[in-house]
Amino acid sequence: MKIALGVTGCIGAYKAALVLRHLQELGADVEVVMTRHATEFIQPLTFQALSGHPVITEMFAPTERSDIYHITLAQAIDLMLVAPATANSIAKFAHGIADDFLTTLYLSTPAPLLMAPAMNVEMWRHPATQENLAILRNRGVSFVDPSAGYLACGMEGEGRLADPLEIAKRAIEIVKQHPPKLDLVGEHVLVSAGPTREHLDPIRYISNRSSGKMGYAIAEAALARGAEVTLVSGPVSLTAPSKANLVKVTSAQDMYEAVLSHFEKATIVIKSAAVCDYRPKNQAEQKIKKTTAEMTIELEPTQDILKTLGERKTHQTLVGFAAETQNILGYAESKLVKKNIDFIVANDVSATDAGFDTENNRVIIIDRKGNQTALPLMSKRLVADRLLDLVILNKRLA
């Protein structure tokens, strides 16, 4: 489960680190969004070290990301939690003011919202605050009300941030009340990912720039929706989803054999791997030594895995990828027909902000009827979910 933890500016902000830790102990992946005033009470580095994710502190800060991240994050989370929530942030949420990343995220996400207020007792009791709380409760927002006791301002009464463990438990409870889509229960999804390596000798090989991120995102998305997943992966520097059946391969021949061995029991097959089309005809047993002479390498074609699957498929929905640098749609549509597949995902791998070895992708998904679904630049996980949406719809209409 993925939770966005919003931290706003009050002395209770230091307790948000404990909330984060408890959420992790309860199985949540947490990304932290801080308001500018929150950073005056606790440093973003604290949350980055604890969460393992960059901390978002500005709406328009320059980053390496090229997607619109408040939208990307909004669609990816299962819950938005604001702890502590100041009187000011509650007022902004109640009246739709979106002047920073946190308030904009609230307006952008379909996920449920949980708020844990913290403030001075008089601010808590003020009619304006109580009216704003009522507005949000009427919208379905949940609250972990503040506890009573000695406050940082020296007064006593309601206003202290609730116990961090209580907040974390309530957050997990709400996530479980809004379970994710489990529309792939009973399906076996076979995914291939990453590059292959075709060796010239024991040290050198021919390969490509594929990082495997797209295939791993597909495997993760399919697992989240209830599928059994077999992930056939070339050499990558990624950690596979723990519940996937991971099959590691190196060469195109290895991948051919692994995919074919799992093909029959699969119901959905997504070939996102970038398999080398050629391999050296002869592989040297020892390292080839450098000389002053030119060297010619004779190549032979590798097995066409996707074509073989298209010839053998019976009950499977088969999805291929077309990584191109020119005539993107033309080559993709030709591949769809020639290889007898159900969907082709076309992307321009010459782009610098999408495709190989990036966090994002920009694709066009084409089905057998010629229908095209163009997806703008977005995270590969979101592309994976949109692709699975189309596959599921196709299966239901079949």
- Assess whether 42 and 109 both reside in one domain: yes
In a domain, 209, yes or no: yes
Catalytic residue among 68, 107, 128, 153: 153
Residue ending a domain, choose from 177, 205, 223:
177
Residues 151 and 244 in one domain: no
Q: Are residues 85 and 219 in the same domain?
A: no
How many domains does the chain fold into?
2
Same domain assignment for residues 312 and 390: yes
Q: Which amino acid is at 24?
A: Q
Tell me, yes or no, whether 66 and 215 share the same domain.
Answer: no
- Say yes or no: 258 and 147 in one domain: no
The end-to-end CA distance of the chain, in Å, is: 32
Output the tens digit of pLDDT for each of the chain's 398 residues: 789 999 999 989 999 999 999 999 888 889 999 999 999 999 999 999 888 888 998 876 655 444 456 567 887 788 999 999 999 999 999 999 999 999 999 998 888 999 999 998 889 999 999 999 999 999 899 999 998 776 666 667 677 899 999 999 999 999 988 776 788 999 999 999 999 999 999 999 999 989 999 999 999 999 989 999 999 999 999 999 989 999 999 999 999 999 999 999 999 999 999 999 999 999 999 999 999 999 999 999 999 999 999 999 999 999 999 988 888 889 899 999 999 999 999 988 787 777 787 888 889 999 998 988 888 777 888 889 889 989 988 887 76
**Residue 284 falls inside a structural domain:** no
Say whether both 67 and 115 belong to one domain. Answer: yes
Q: What is the CATH number of the domain that holds 223?
A: 3.40.50.10300
291: Cβ–Cβ under 8 A, 6 or more apart, which residues? Answer: none
- What is the per-residue pLDDT for 181? 72
Which residues span the domain enclosing 142?
2-177
Task: Tell me if 107 is assigned to some domain.
Answer: yes
Q: Is residue 326 part of a domain?
A: yes
Q: Are residues 225 and 129 in the same domain?
A: no
Whole-angstrom distance, CA of residue 77 vs CA of residue 224: 12
What secondary structure, in 3-state letters, does the chain show? CEEEEEECCCHHHHHHHHHHHHHHHCCCEEEEEECCCHHHCCCHHHHHHHHCCCCECCCCCCCCCCCCHHHHHHHHCCEEEEEEECHHHHHHHHHCCCCCHHHHHHHHCCCCEEEEECCCHHHHHCHHHHHHHHHHHHCCCEECCCEEEECCCCCEEEEECCCHHHHHHHHHHHHHHCCCCCCCCCCEEEEEECECCEECCCCCEECCCCCCHHHHHHHHHHHHCCCEEEEEECCCCCCCCCCCEEEECCCHHHHHHHHHHHHCCCCEEEECCECCCEEECCCCCCCCCCCCCCCCCCEEECCCHHHHHHHHCCCCEEEEEEEECCCHHHHHHHHHHHCCCCEEEEEECCCCCCCCCCCEEEEEEEECCCCEEEEEEEEHHHHHHHHHHHHHHHHHHC
Q: Do 72 and 173 lie in a common domain?
A: yes
Shared domain check, 213 and 160 = no
Residue 183 lies in a domain: no
Domain end call among 123, 155, 177: 177
Using CA atoms, how far apart are residues 41 and 11, in angstroms rounded to an integer?
6
Q: What is the CATH number of the domain that holds 31?
A: 3.40.50.1950
**Structure confidence at residue 151 (pLDDT):** 63
Q: How many CB atoms lie within 10 A of CB 251?
A: 20
Note whether residue 287 is domain-resident: no
Q: Where does a domain end: 177, 211, 240?
A: 177
Place of tokens 């709380």: 133
Same-domain pairing of 273 and 317 = yes
Active site (annotated) includes residue 153: yes
258 and 353 in a common domain? yes
